Chains A and B, each alone.
Chain A
């Protein structure tokens, strides 16, 4: 038992390493690779608000339309990084940046600063209009420099999350997307009505800043609010780095944290802690529930009917070991296995036929293996001696041998059952663990694939450790003595 406990404890590092290997392999699948937005394990060039803003500013200054769009999307998060550096650019380049920031200016409603522009500069040309915009931004930043500080935004978001008011939302306009990381962090855990109200106050602001639309029924109850918060958080996990200022240490860890693997860890741990809605877990549970009858039929066949059939065959043919009838039965059983196992690929139309088929093949495979093992320890002499024993004695000998063989077989047959069920489900179409895995693969959902794989892996490892603990230490073979 101590060995089993040791192995169960050892399972943690094995699964950890296994998850890395599986992540690497599954991440290399063309369908998954196509959907991937981040590198798998190492981010060579971590993104931060500063790096994204400066890159977009330089591109915009050169006249690159894509960079201008990027600058518009970055909005307020880019301002503390580009406005103090505008003076480094040539006048023409500055004007381009000011033009690109115009949609942001409209969103942040900074017309008041433009109106304050001296009338000595009438907008007679495009250049003059750009200069007015530039001047407005300079004035704006002089006024709001202190607003673009984490502490002040944190306080603002805390006030907004505790009570809604037009003034606070107006304050939020002044910093625009700079507040996005703080807003997402403030969503927090959704467990009760107060949390629902908080999400109701924060979600519209987050959605409008990140350019998404919200549907009202999402915010009706705890589950809905949690699902909404989960969606916003997950979206921010992928796209939020460019709105976030990173410290020196954070910039260093971003090489690892801005990867698919780290994202999987973060989202899986949030899901496990109940912070996020259990999306992957609930999908897995639903799929498992659909596959459960087939899996159960497989295990009933392998662990109950198979041993019974093997015991029956052993009893019936014990005294005829090596005879033609014995050989014919063994060959017949083996050939039936060879014939019936691939039938799982034919995709039976009815669920009942699928259940019967998996029950049949599991019984056959288990009976064949167990009978092979029962016959192993018996030569023709011992078979005759055993054959002379009363039925009870023979049954006891068979049971003693099965007690050793069944725990050995259990983890192996579990893998077989999974394979048969996979073939049956995929050939039939429909729903279940494996069609869902296939869908996840086609959709490039690496997290769902990894969850399914690790769950199966963990289950079989536990079964293996426990079944090994059941093995008696003595000689497993059974003989006449």
Chain B
């Protein structure tokens, strides 16, 4: 039995957190040293695949379900990616006319460009983390990635559907801004 729900929930968690926190952290890290340090730390944590070995520990210690731990790991990784691209974009801009305020941070803060593309990788990354988890915990694990790691190729189909859904979500809004008038009229 392939557990699509687990991957879906992990993906939603990772996507939402990265979508909300990524740009915010990116803005902050362009101006605040502490935020830059935090983004750096998140980026560095991505280099530690061995942390996936600790998923069972986090599940047991904090009573978190597996999908939440995988989702949080994915969210940390995607947030770092989004924040880094947003911060690079932000660095070149002139300073804000008004002091930094929380409500302004969320203003028009949909990730764009590479930051948006980074969010496209939420689903494959969650799958990879799920797969990695079963290697580190004696075959224990759920989700599409775990099914793939066990050799169940059919898991590719729901994975593709989830990937497609991510693309559709990300393309909404972005399409209108970038398209020429004739393309907008045709869609």
Contact = CB atoms under 8 A, between A and B. Distances in A.
Interface string A430-471: 000010011001000000010011001101110010000001
Interface in B113-156: 113-114, 116-118, 120-121, 123-125, 127-129, 131-132, 135-136, 144-145, 148-149, 151, 153, 156
Interface of B: 40-41, 43-44, 46-51, 53-54, 56-57, 61, 77, 80-81, 84-85, 88-89, 91-93, 112-114, 116-118, 120-121, 123-125, 127-129, 131-132, 135-136, 144-145, 148-149, 151, 153, 156, 159-160, 162-164, 166-167, 171, 175, 177-181, 183-184, 186
A427 B51 CA distance: 17
Name the residue in B50, B57, B156 with the highest tally of chain A Cβ atoms < 10 Å from its Cβ. B50
A426 B141 CA distance: 15
A394 to B, nearest CB: 18
Given A337-B163, A342-B156, 6 more contacts: A339-B163, A342-B159, A441-B50, A457-B47, A460-B46, A460-B47
A338 B128 contact: no
Which A-B residue pairs are the 7 nearest by beta carbons? A376-B113, A415-B46, A338-B163, A322-B179, A372-B117, A475-B92, A341-B124
Interface of A: 7, 14, 22, 25-26, 28-30, 321-324, 327, 331, 334-335, 337-339, 341-342, 344-347, 365, 368-373, 375-380, 384, 404-405, 408-409, 411-412, 414-416, 418-420, 422-423, 426-427, 434, 437-438, 441, 449, 452-453, 456-457, 459-461, 464, 471, 473-477
B145 A405 contact: no
A342 B127 contact: yes
Given A30-B56, A342-B156, A369-B118, A380 B88 contact: no
A327 to B, nearest CB: 7
Contacts of B77: 415
Contacts of B118: 369, 412
A376 B54 CA distance: 38
B160 A28 contact: no
Nearest to A331: B167
A380 B179 contact: yes
B114 A461 contact: no
A303 B136 CA distance: 30
12 contacts: A28-B54, A322-B180, A338-B160, A346-B153, A373-B117, A377-B113, A379-B177, A408-B114, A419-B125, A437-B50, A473-B91, A474-B92
A290 to B, nearest CB: 16
Contacts, number: 207
A477 B92 contact: yes
Which of B51, B114, B129, B153 has most A Cβ within 10 Å? B114
B114 A409 contact: yes
Contacts of A368: 117, 120
B92 A426 contact: no
Contact of B124 (A337, A453, A473): A337
B56 A453 contact: no
A342 B154 CA distance: 12
Given A345-B127, A380-B178, A418 B47 contact: yes
B132 A423 contact: yes
A344 B124 CA distance: 10
A460 B44 contact: yes
B144 to A, nearest CB: 8
A208 B45 CA distance: 46
Contact of B167 (A335, A422, A438, A460): A335
A414 B40 CA distance: 13
B151 A346 contact: yes
A476 B47 contact: no
B183 A365 contact: no
Nearest to B54: A25
Contact of A415 (B43, B57, B131, B183): B43
A331 B125 CA distance: 18
Contact of B43 (A380, A412, A452): A412
A470 B47 CA distance: 21
A27 to B, nearest CB: 10
